[in-house]
A = this chain, B = another copy of it.
Amino acid sequence: MTPSFDQLKNQLKKLPGFGVRSAERIALHLLLEKPQAAEDLLNALEHAREQVGQCPVCGNITERGLREDDFCDICLDTSRNRNLLCVVEQIPDLISMEKSGAYRGLYHVLHGKLSPINGIGEEDLNLVSLKKRLAEEPIEEVILALSNDIEGEATCNFLKENYFDPYNLSVTRIGFGLPSGGNLFYADSTTLRSALDGRRDY
């Protein structure tokens, strides 16, 4: 429509879940219908870009500068079971688990899963910190909450053999309830709860 409008539309179109029409709709909303929304969004995004970082322990998001070490709220929560570690692929998976209210241990976010076809190997996952945690923290049980697909399965196998078995940890994998090919982020709380209850030895 106009160069600046098209530029904004094209940036919006790159976001996950956006098509041409939703990009146009949001661009018009921000520019003409609700200029205040654009102002607020700009401020929130700029602020969050400065403030939001990753927890050096588990890989969850954390607020920078609140505490010396930038640890996330979950890692610092002394009421949680520190013998239990839940391994997830992505932060949205952790958010889903937290919303289900079915889990009160710690997390480790891999930020991906092994995928030779996409060129994602061991070095691309958040594993240096995992090795350190296994050596230093009182972890006794590991719950693998990875996707129910081939890459998730391969990643579980790899982690069990190379990371958890050397420490003789009890390793389970969530299984019942998550549909084949399904993604943790879109599962509802009841499904996640039954998947946690029905976890099997791995």
Contacts and interface: CB of A to CB of B under 8 A. Distances in A.
Interface of A: 1-5, 7-8, 10-12, 14-17, 21-22, 24-32, 34-35, 37-38, 40-42, 44-52, 54, 60-63, 72-73, 90-92, 95, 185-186
B7 A47 contact: yes
A25 to B, nearest CB: 6
Contact of A46 (B17, B37, B42, B51): B42
A104 to B, nearest CB: 17
B61 A32 contact: yes
A32 B12 CA distance: 17
Contacts of A7: 44, 47-48
Nearest to A72: B2
B48 A27 contact: yes
Given A2-B52, A8-B45, A32-B52, 10 more contacts: A1-B73, A3-B63, A4-B47, A4-B51, A5-B63, A7-B47, A8-B52, A17-B25, A21-B186, A30-B45
13 contacts: A1-B73, A2-B61, A2-B62, A4-B63, A7-B47, A8-B48, A16-B25, A16-B26, A24-B92, A25-B185, A31-B61, A32-B91, A41-B45
B92 A4 contact: no
Contacts of A14: 34, 37, 40
A40 B10 CA distance: 10
A185 B42 CA distance: 27
Contact of A22 (B5, B17, B41, B63): B17
Contacts of A28: 61, 90-92
